[in-house]
Amino acid sequence: MVAEKEKGYENIIVTAATSLILTNKIIFISTTQFHIVPLSESALLFYYSPAIDIIINEKIMALHHKLASTSFPGFIESAPAYASLAVYYNPAFIKQYYPDTVTAFAFVQNIIESLARESDNLNFSQTKPITTIPIYYNGEDLEWVASTHQLTTTEVIQLHCGVVYHVFMNGFLPGFAYMGTVNEKIITARKDKPRLKVAAGSLGIAGAQTGIYPIDSPGGWQIIGTTPLQLFNKKKADPCLIKAGDQIQFFAIDKKEFDQLNEY
Amino acid sequence: MSIKILKPGICSTIQDLGRTGYRSIGVGPGGAMDFFAATTANYLAGNDEHQPVIEMHFPAASSCFTTPALICIAGANFDAHINEVPIEMYQPVFVEKNAVLSFKKNISGARVYLGVYKGMEAEKWLGSYSTHLKIAAGGFKGRLLQKDDIIAINAESHLLNRKKIRISPAVLKTLYNHQSPLRCIAGPQCFLLNAESQKNILQTAFTISNQSDRMGYRLSGNNCYLQTPVELISSPVTFGTVQLLPNGQLIILMADHQTTGGYPNIATIIAADLPRLAQLPVNSQLHFELVSLQHAEEMLLSTHQLLAEIKTGCENFYANH
């Protein structure tokens, strides 16, 4: 690892974390410089300067999809996050078929570097269909979020429904989607003390992010509503409803509609 | 043809080597904590590495075989008995109809594996038999084994093990030598630690706390500090990732880890040492040793090589039996 890379990574993390969460300004990184480091002896981490940034995330998704379609010898899978992509591979396979490579990591690093350079030239502004998700805005923290920002609960709901969200990544729990960014008027820090149990379907806000708990789980997000839809259905071949790269908009429903649509 | 659970034990599940291809939707690989023991339990029971096995902790499950069967016990030494008679580990054992398998004493290690000739019936979810407890899928009804569960096994076996095959104790002793440090490679954020903590991690001992499970080992030891506090955005992690928690303590992510994490990623335990880590019980001490990525790769390759040799040995044994 090069000291300069490390230094840059550290500095930008600090800026991104402080300015992003507090002001909800999307930071556009002028450089598209990427870094590749080992995550283990059978995985590497490809990353841009960490930020919650749709353009950076689209680059990550482009590389993720490109890997899925082109693959390489020994490739297992890749997993995208906000500004990083983990690429998992089988080092034994690579060393067996390419005995001249010093490390399997170097072999994969080369492939990822050239794929990333190619996908850097792709056009990311393709329009995607918007998926709409019904929400019964009855969350335990709705009143609190409203009063914190001197808003009415109706205003919070309108502001939350008024944005098309980009799905940055899945993680934390199977099917949990990190979406953003919420209107700056309703950016709310996580709860000081996480709940021991947040019910499946609960919609929450954490900083400028919004997301739905697919299963019962401990959690610290401010809960403002519930979806009747099942976010993660283990019986389906494709179990995950909201995936990284999707476009999502929420619309408010009442109790009666919730009960009619309830999949739980 | 089945195994009937008489007593369930504290955390008995069906596992295989884990599922791949679903990290991108937040589903981690899961699978056996100790891939070496799970794999050898299968090889020595006459299977390939993909058959489901039962992973047990202490106190472990007691079970009864409703049919003659060929089994192998590998991993932790919990003093395995068949019908109140001690049996050897890491070698095939023939059990008769109505035999009772039980584990008497927690002698060493943390989890034991039961492999059965031709495997057992288990639910495959997203390509793997591993039990996903949170989603309640895979393995046996997606849950821990309970009293009176009946797990069908795929074949009776009347093989008599007059001839023996076993894994050399010397090999196991090296692989599971609890005295030697856990080797790790530097993590993407190790440089965020202050100089003293970077030194501390490699020079002081850590203890596996009792808040440790299949998801992660929480360690207790000297607090580690960052040069400056940071809040990171979520990024992918893996089995063996060592994270620094906000309270200054370390956690090692284990088989049932989440796919992403937001804490600084300080180091990764090399895969060749994960079986040994998986067999370290709560309250044991451990040391870290920093190695190069190239060394980590070489160690993994030699572990693969060792498993390949064991596989060939077992295949020849069963072909000539």
What pLDDT digit, counting tens, does each position of A189-231 carry? 999 899 999 999 999 999 999 999 999 999 999 999 999 999 9
Task: Compute the distance between CA of residue B199 and CA of residue B222 in angstroms, rounded to an integer.
Answer: 11
Over 90: is that where the pLDDT of A173 sits?
Answer: yes
What pLDDT digit, counting tens, does each position of B212-231 carry? 999 999 999 999 999 998 87
Task: Average the pLDDT over B98-113 and give the result.
Answer: 98
Task: Average the pLDDT over A53-66 and give the result.
Answer: 93
Task: Compute the distance between CA of residue B88 and CA of residue B180 in angstroms, rounded to an integer.
Answer: 25
Chain B residues touching residue A45 (CB < 8 angstroms): 188, 235-236
Q: What is the pLDDT of residue A32?
A: 67
Output the average pLDDT for chain B: 95
CA angle B241, B243, B244 (to 5 degrees): 165
- The answer to whether A80 and A61 have CB atoms below 8 angstroms apart is yes
Burial of B163-200, coded b for 16+ CB within 10 Å and e otherwise, reads eebebeeeebeebbeeeeebbbbbbbbbbbbeeebbeb
What pLDDT digit, counting tens, does each position of B163-194 carry? 789 999 999 999 999 889 999 999 999 999 99
Q: Is residue B232 less than 8 Å (CB to CB) from chain A?
A: yes
Q: Is B299 helix (H, G, I), strand (E, B) or coil?
A: helix
Which sequence spans correspond to the domains of chain B?
2-172, 182-290
Q: Is residue A84 less than 8 Å (CB to CB) from chain B?
A: yes
Task: Compute the distance between CA of residue B125 and CA of residue B131 in angstroms, rounded to an integer.
Answer: 9
Q: What is the pLDDT of residue B41?
A: 98
Residue type, B309: E
Put simply, the chain B residues between 46 and 75 with a CB less than 8 A from any chain A CB are none
Between A264 and B6, the more confident residue is B6
Q: What is the pLDDT of residue A25?
A: 36
Task: Average the pLDDT over B39-58 and give the result.
Answer: 97
Q: Residue B231 contacts by C-beta under 8 Å, 6 or more apart in sequence?
A: A13, A17, A18, A21, B262
Lowest mean pLDDT among A8-17, A240-249, B45-54: A8-17
Over 90: is that where the pLDDT of B298 sits?
Answer: yes
Q: Is residue A244 less than 8 Å (CB to CB) from chain B?
A: yes
- The answer to whether B73 and B32 have CB atoms below 8 angstroms apart is no
Give the tokens for residue A128. Answer: 């995607």
Over 70: is that where the pLDDT of A21 sits?
Answer: no
Task: Determine the distance in angstroms separating the CA of A79 from the nearest CA of chain B, rounded to an integer.
Answer: 4
Lowest mean pLDDT among A132-141, B25-34, B151-160: B151-160
Judge: domain A3-120, CATH 3.30.1360.40: yes
Q: Is A51 helix (H, G, I), strand (E, B) or coil?
A: coil
Q: Taking CB atoms and an 8 Å limit, are B236 and A92 in contact across chains?
A: no
Judge: domain B182-290, CATH 2.40.100.10: yes
Output the average pLDDT for chain A: 87
Over 70: is that where the pLDDT of B311 sits?
Answer: yes
Q: Taking CB atoms and an 8 Å limit, are B231 and A21 in contact across chains?
A: yes
- Local confidence band at B157 (pLDDT 50, 70, 90 cut-offs): confident
Chain B residues touching residue A19 (CB < 8 angstroms): none
Over 50: is that where the pLDDT of B204 sits?
Answer: yes
Chain B residues touching residue A43 (CB < 8 angstroms): 236, 238
Task: Average the pLDDT over B39-67 and give the result.
Answer: 97
Within chain A, all domains assigned CATH 2.40.100.10 are found at 130-261
Nearest CB to B137; choose among A84, A86, A234: A234
Q: What is the pLDDT of residue B23?
A: 98
Nearest CB to A6; choose among B22, B191, B265: B191
Q: Taking CB atoms and an 8 Å limit, are B185 and A40 in contact across chains?
A: yes
To the nearest whole percent, how much of chain A has pLDDT over 70? 85
Q: What is the pLDDT of residue A7?
A: 34
To the nearest whole percent, how much of chain B has pLDDT over 90? 92
Q: Taking CB atoms and an 8 Å limit, are B188 and A41 in contact across chains?
A: no
Residue of A nearest to B185 (CA): A40
Task: Determine the distance in angstroms separating the CA of A154 from the nearest CA of chain B, rounded to an integer.
Answer: 30
Task: Determine the distance in angstroms separating the CA of A177 from the nearest CA of chain B, rounded to an integer.
Answer: 8
Task: Average the pLDDT over B43-70 and give the result.
Answer: 97
Give the tokens for residue A37. Answer: 């480091």
Over 80: is that where the pLDDT of B149 sits?
Answer: yes
Q: Is residue A65 less than 8 Å (CB to CB) from chain B?
A: no
Q: Is residue B237 less than 8 Å (CB to CB) from chain A?
A: yes
Q: Taking CB atoms and an 8 Å limit, are A172 and B24 in contact across chains?
A: no
Over 70: is that where the pLDDT of B138 sits?
Answer: yes
Task: Average the pLDDT over B252-263 and give the result.
Answer: 96
Which residue reads 């010898």 in tokens? A73
What pLDDT digit, counting tens, does each position of A115-170 carry? 998 876 665 556 789 999 999 999 999 999 999 999 999 999 999 999 999 999 99
- Local confidence band at B238 (pLDDT 50, 70, 90 cut-offs): very high
Task: Compute the distance between CA of residue B138 and CA of residue B129 in angstroms, rounded to an integer.
Answer: 5
Within chain A, all domains assigned CATH 3.30.1360.40 are found at 3-120
Q: Is residue B136 less than 8 Å (CB to CB) from chain A?
A: yes
Q: Is residue B228 less than 8 Å (CB to CB) from chain A?
A: yes
Task: Determine the distance in angstroms separating the CA of A152 from the nearest CA of chain B, rounded to an integer.
Answer: 30
Task: Average the pLDDT over B262-286 and give the result.
Answer: 97
Task: Average the pLDDT over A30-56 and give the result.
Answer: 89
Q: Is B62 helix (H, G, I), strand (E, B) or coil?
A: strand
- The CATH superfamily label for domain A130-261 reads Cyclophilin-like (2.40.100.10)
Task: Note the maximum CA span of chain A.
Answer: 66
Q: What is the pLDDT of residue A128?
A: 82
Q: Is residue B125 less than 8 Å (CB to CB) from chain A?
A: yes
Task: Average the pLDDT over B68-74 and give the result.
Answer: 96
CA angle A79, B280, B248 (to 5 degrees): 65
CB contacts < 8 A (A, B): 160
Q: What is the pLDDT of residue B162?
A: 66
Q: What is the pLDDT of residue A125?
A: 55
Q: What is the pLDDT of residue B155?
A: 83
Over 80: is that where the pLDDT of B70 sits?
Answer: yes
- Local confidence band at A14 (pLDDT 50, 70, 90 cut-offs): very low
Q: What is the pLDDT of residue A123?
A: 55
Q: What is the pLDDT of residue B229?
A: 84
Q: What is the pLDDT of residue B164?
A: 86
Chain B residues touching residue A173 (CB < 8 angstroms): 26, 134, 258
Task: Determine the distance in angstroms separating the CA of B9 from the nearest CA of chain A, rounded to an integer.
Answer: 25
Over 80: is that where the pLDDT of A30 sits?
Answer: no
Chain B residues touching residue A21 (CB < 8 angstroms): 231
Task: Compute the distance between CA of residue B288 and CA of residue B296 in angstroms, rounded to an integer.
Answer: 14
Task: Compute the distance between CA of residue B219 and CA of residue B221 in angstroms, rounded to an integer.
Answer: 7
